[in-house]
């Protein structure tokens, strides 16, 4: 009479153990706070959890696991399974994807940013370079062209940029340096204090970051159309962690990327639609530079910086010209009728 219940108990214990063994919990390292820039990660976690019945979960940490500039290092040693980072934070570690940070690439929309980033991420040179850090590129964090907030008189001519202390990284920093500005690459989290203390007098960010890190609250003006470039900020996973996923969990992750990106685009689009109202609420002047100023800036910065980047990459054995051509060709293909 007691054998059947005992067998049931044993079976139940075995099933419980098996269920625990199959459960996957990942730690995800980002920074700042939840904002438009991290919505695709939040959505990805939500989708994966739902698709796997709660057996694959992601714990998203905003600064609790690593500093933003150390996320790629953390991935490489397996300190956490997923992370977000920006190429401009450590250009020597992720040289290939810095092609996406060249100034004046002509990327006009978030959808175009997704298209060109995805093309570059899938290039063998990008895959191989990230593998050196035990990292697999999963998805981009598409951002619009950066623009500048500042205090005092608006900078409306290239002469006004001479000596301007600006928070700007990557290709944008190089572009602004070419017209006499003095770029610094303090982290996003340090930017408000840098602006408040006078370490910088202007800040180049995408719209969400001006909001999230408070620089819009110190600003007196914002350049609406300078558009010198943007940062490229991938989401990566540790290769060993990815390879150890069960087939079902890997499928849940892979199949959720497109939907997570779509959610991000919708959410960020809503922010862009209300941006003018945000400027008005905070009393920030919207500065539109003359086309002649933009053309002059483009002439001084775009071609020389692009050519130097290509030469530097080729000298290091990387396909610089091929990567740049891939970006331009992808843009044209994305804009083609019926694409």
Rounded CA-CA distance 12/46 in Å is 29
Question: Could you tell me where the beta strands, DSSP code E, fall in the chain?
Answer: 24-30, 56-62, 82-84, 135-139, 147-150, 165-167, 182-184, 202-205, 221-223, 235-238, 285-287
Rounded CA-CA distance 217/281 in Å is 10
In the chain, residues under CATH classification 3.40.190.170 are 25-141+232-271, 147-230+282-335
Rounded CA-CA distance 144/4 in Å is 65
Number of neighbouring beta carbons within 10 Å of residue 87: 23
219: which DSSP letter?
-
Nearest in space to 59 (alpha carbons), one of 25, 13, 35, 32: 25
Structure tokens at 137: 């590129």
pLDDT score of 95 = 97
Burial of 183 per CB tally in 10 Å (0-12, 13-18, 19+): buried
| Contact yes or no for 254/246 (Cβ under 8 A) | no
Q: For 135, list phi and psi in degrees, rounded to 5.
A: -120, 140
Apex 168 CA angle, 162 and 174, nearest 5: 65
| Contact yes or no for 93/56 (Cβ under 8 A) | no
pLDDT score of 333 = 95
CATH 3.40.190.10, applies to 147-230+282-335 = no
pLDDT score of 169 = 83
Give residue 159's region: left, alpha or beta (phi > 0; psi -120 to 50).
Answer: alpha
Residue 59's DSSP bridge partners are 27
146: which DSSP letter?
P
Q: What is the CATH number of domain 25-141+232-271?
A: 3.40.190.170
DSSP sequence for 227-294: --------EEEEHHHHHTS-HHHHHHHHTTHHHHHHHHHHHHHHHHHTHHHHHHHHT-EEE---HHHH
pLDDT score of 339 = 64
pLDDT score of 185 = 82
pLDDT score of 88 = 86
Which stretches in the chain have pLDDT values below 50?
Answer: 1-21
Rounded CA-CA distance 136/235 in Å is 9
Instruction: Collapse the DSSP code of 150 into the 3-class scheme (helix H, G, I; strand E, B; otherwise coil) and give the result.
Output: strand
Rounded CA-CA distance 71/237 in Å is 11
pTM of the predicted protein model:
0.85
Nearest in space to 120 (alpha carbons), one of 149, 146, 87: 87
Instruction: Collapse the DSSP code of 148 into the 3-class scheme (helix H, G, I; strand E, B; otherwise coil) and give the result.
Output: strand
Nearest in space to 155 (alpha carbons), one of 39, 20, 293, 303: 293
Instruction: Collapse the DSSP code of 149 into the 3-class scheme (helix H, G, I; strand E, B; otherwise coil) and give the result.
Output: strand
Rounded CA-CA distance 339/331 in Å is 11
Specify the residue for token string 């600064």. 63
């Amino acid at each position: 009479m007691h054998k059947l219940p005992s067998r049931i108990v044993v079976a139940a214990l075995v099933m419980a153990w098996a269920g625990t063994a199959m459960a996957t919990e990942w730690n995800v390292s980002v920074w700042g706070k939840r904002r438009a820039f991290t919505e695709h990660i939040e959505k990805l976690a939500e989708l994966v959890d739902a698709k796997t019945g709660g057996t694959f979960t992601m714990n998203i940490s905003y600064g609790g696991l690593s500093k933003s500039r150390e996320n790629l290092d953390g991935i490489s040693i397996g300190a956490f399974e997923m992370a977000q980072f920006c190429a401009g934070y450590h250009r020597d570690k992720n040289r290939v994807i810095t092609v996406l940070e060249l100034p004046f690439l002509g990327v006009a929309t978030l959808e175009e940013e997704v298209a060109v980033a995805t093309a570059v991420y899938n290039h063998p040179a990008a895959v191989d370079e990230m593998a050196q850090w035990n990292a697999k590129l999963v998805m981009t964090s598409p951002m619009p062209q950066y623009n500048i907030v500042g205090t005092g008189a608006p900078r409306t001519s290239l002469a006004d940029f001479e000596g301007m202390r600006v928070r700007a990284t990557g290709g944008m920093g190089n572009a602004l340096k070419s017209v006499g500005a003095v770029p610094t690459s303090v982290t996003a989290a340090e930017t408000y204090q840098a602006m408040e203390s006078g370490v910088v007098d202007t800040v180049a960010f995408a719209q969400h970051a001006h909001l999230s890190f408070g620089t819009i609250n110190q600003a007196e003006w914002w350049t609406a159309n300078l558009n010198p470039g943007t940062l490229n900020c991938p989401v990566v996973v540790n290769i060993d962690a990815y390879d150890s996923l069960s087939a079902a969990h890997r499928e849940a992750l892979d199949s959720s990327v497109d939907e997570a990106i779509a959610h991000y685009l919708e959410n960020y689009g809503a922010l862009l639609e209300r941006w003018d109202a945000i400027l008005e609420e905070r009393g920030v002047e919207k500065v539109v530079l003359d086309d002649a100023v933009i053309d002059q800036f483009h002439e001084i910065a775009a071609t020389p910086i692009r050519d130097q980047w290509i030469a530097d990459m080729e000298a290091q054995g990387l396909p610089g010209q091929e990567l740049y051509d891939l970006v331009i060709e992808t843009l044209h293909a994305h804009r083609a009728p019926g694409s």
